[in-house]
Amino acid sequence: MRLLLDTHVWIWSQESPEQLGATARRHLEDPSNKLIVSAVSFLELAQLAHKKRICLKRTLGAWSRSAVENLGAQVSVITPDIALGAYELPAPFHSDPADRILVATAIHEQLTLLTADERILAYPGVRCLSAQA
């Protein structure tokens, strides 16, 4: 399975894995799954650190490199198709630009989005798994 990690899932996987459900942890640990972190998650991480809503013991660069490496994940770039697709979603969706990019990435790249965000889980246009299951 090809899993796109929502930003909070990426952070939880490194900082507080107990917030993830047992099924989500199994998916993250399964070597047959391909794990992907969107470039927009780096922006969200930087914003959280800037606003002091998250405190990391290392620099943002060191933490993010290590977090991607620890998971054996790949980083997904935001292509023009994904950027445009974020505002051409096939059904009504909320206004958070990062969530829109994550959903558009999952749709465009045919990924399953691992998230605990109820708004995304309820959205009919994207394949999702609950991070708390």
Asked whether residue 91 carries a pLDDT value surpassing 90, the answer given is no
- pLDDT class of 82 with cuts at 50, 70, 90: very high
- pLDDT class of 45 with cuts at 50, 70, 90: very high
Q: Total structural domains in the chain?
A: 1
- pLDDT class of 26 with cuts at 50, 70, 90: very high
Asked whether residue 32 carries a pLDDT value surpassing 90, the answer given is yes
Task: Find the mean pLDDT for residues 91-99.
Answer: 93
8 Å CB contact between 9 and 20: yes
Domain around 93: 2-130
- pLDDT class of 117 with cuts at 50, 70, 90: very high
Place of tokens 């990426």: 10
CA–chain centroid gap for 67, Å, is 12
8 Å CB contact between 133 and 118: no
Task: Find the mean pLDDT for residues 28-39.
Answer: 98
8 Å CB contact between 57 and 35: no
> What CATH number did the domain enclosing 124 receive?
3.40.50.1010
Asked whether residue 57 carries a pLDDT value surpassing 90, the answer given is no
| pLDDT cut 70: percent of the chain above it | 100
